[in-house]
Amino acid sequence: MQSLEALTRDARALANGEIVLSAPEAEVARQMQICNACRYCEGFCAVFPAMTRRLEFGKADIHFLANLCHNCGACLHACQYAPPHEFAVNVPQAMAQVRGQTYADYAWPPALGALYQRQGLTLSLALAAGLALFLVLAVALKGTLWSAPGGDFYGIFPHNLLVGLFAPVFLFVVFALGMGVHRFWRSITPATSGAPLSAPAAAEATDAVLRLKYLDGGHGDGCHNEDDAYTLARRRLHHLTFYGFLLCFAATSVATLYHYLLGWAAPYDLPSLPKLLGAAGGVMLALGTAGLWRLNLRRHPLHGDAAQKPMDRGFIALLFLTATSGLALWLVRGTPALALLLCLHLGAVMALFATMPYGKFGHGIFRTAALLRHAVEKRQPNPIGLGAD
């Protein structure tokens, strides 16, 4: 609860037309002032070099830095002022709390930003609704949930019906995510030099995203999970999950081109490209998410924001369910269990897509935007002429 003094300060700032920091934002600003005097962690990640270009931390600076932080934990385990020290510096936790707030603040439409705060409930309802939709449709179309018409998915749900259901959701997701990151970009651009994006900056940020550079601890040995030991597991499991997801998406895209451009109807068998991409992507996604789940359960309690655990775990679980139900479809294609499993898979995919703009998926998009702005800003002269770039 805010103290009377803090409330009075906020009221005065509001009356003067100044922008008031939320409690988590004020905590990041406090810790950054300490770090700016210490600078021990300068080589760990992009946050500290970006911090040294500032003497004061406004709302946009804090939103930018919070999304630049990869929650690697390195600065917590290195910090002489971490709890139980009275300074109580815990940068990963303070950044994570603001990060969660930024997802809600920049969400589009703004009214749906509240879904971030109830991620466990949001994901459960979305999954239940997705499952119910396909179960009811299967019964309405086939009269049973126990059938496998020639092993053909479209024998259960016609192709055009699936396109009619998924295409609007997909377009909405792309639009909502695009609007959210556009609002974030507009907010942090003036605070990060205001300079436009250049090709070298874009190339550097893309490299950092694709390699997950800032999960290497700045020395290549990795980041932290349950203790102060370095591990590359988080980085590798994120890579498995990310590239597995991309391969699954590529499989669906190639299958769409086959259908509409070449007139080749599904199902596609090995060694067709959609099958190869889908199988490799599904296995990578299942392994990556299983590993991330295990790491999440063992994560050090001082890392990150405990209130966001349901969002993290719900997203990992939904990705795992999508991957494993997709792979299982391959195994049961010739059996009557196909219809039921197809309902489960499509329900999971629908829930995953529908909640993408209001869940953990956003962290990759916002972090990419912050890395792009960091790559732009570091190419500009240091406005305070102190510290190292």
In the complex, which residues of this chain contact ligand SF4 (CB under 6 A)? 34-35, 38-41, 44-45, 47, 69-75, 78-81, 89, 91-92, 95, 214
Q: Quick check: helix, strand or coil at residue 231? A: strand
Number of residues in the chain: 389
Between 216 and 318, CB nearer to ligand SF4: 216
Residue 131 CB: number of other CB atoms within 10 A? Answer: 17
Between 87 and 258, CB nearer to ligand SF4: 87
Give the nearest distance from C-beta 86 to ligand SF4 in angstroms.
13
* Residue 223 dihedral angles phi and psi, to the nearest 5°: -110, -160
C-alpha to C-alpha distance for 251 and 239, rounded to whole angstroms: 18
Between 239 and 300, CB nearer to ligand SF4: 300
Which residue in the block uniquely carries the two structure tokens 């655990």? 309
Give the nearest distance from C-beta 40 to ligand SF4 in angstroms.
4
Q: Is the Cβ–Cβ distance between 215 and 287 less than 8 Å?
A: no
Give the nearest distance from C-beta 269 to ligand SF4 in angstroms.
45
Between 345 and 367, CB nearer to ligand SF4: 367
Q: Is the Cβ–Cβ distance between 49 and 389 less than 8 Å?
A: yes
Q: Quick check: helix, strand or coil at residue 48? A: helix
- Cβ burial, residue 280 (10 Å; 0-12/13-18/19+): middle
Give the nearest distance from C-beta 214 to ligand SF4 in angstroms.
5
Between 72 and 346, CB nearer to ligand SF4: 72
Between 73 and 359, CB nearer to ligand SF4: 73
Locate 73 and state its tokens: 């934990």
Give the nearest distance from C-beta 62 to ligand SF4 in angstroms.
12
b/e per residue 219-258 (b: at least 16 CB within 10 A): eeebbbbeeeebbebbbbbbbbbbbbbebbebbeebbeeb
* Closest to 106 in 3D by CA, of 313, 350, 369, 352: 369
Which residues have CB under 8 Å from 47's CB, separation 6+?
65, 68, 69, 75, 91, 95
Between 223 and 350, CB nearer to ligand SF4: 223
Give the nearest distance from C-beta 44 to ligand SF4 in angstroms.
4
Give the nearest distance from C-beta 290 to ligand SF4 in angstroms.
24
| Backbone region of residue 304 per phi and psi (left: phi > 0; alpha: psi in -120 to 50; beta: other values) | left
Give the nearest distance from C-beta 85 to ligand SF4 in angstroms.
9
C-alpha to C-alpha distance for 297 and 387, rounded to whole angstroms: 38
Between 76 and 123, CB nearer to ligand SF4: 76
C-alpha to C-alpha distance for 12 and 29, rounded to whole angstroms: 19
Between 214 and 358, CB nearer to ligand SF4: 214
Which residues have CB under 8 Å from 312's CB, separation 6+?
296, 360
Give the nearest distance from C-beta 178 to ligand SF4 in angstroms.
26
Q: Quick check: helix, strand or coil at residue 268? A: coil
Between 96 and 115, CB nearer to ligand SF4: 96
Locate 232 and state its tokens: 């590359």
Give the nearest distance from C-beta 93 to ligand SF4 in angstroms.
9
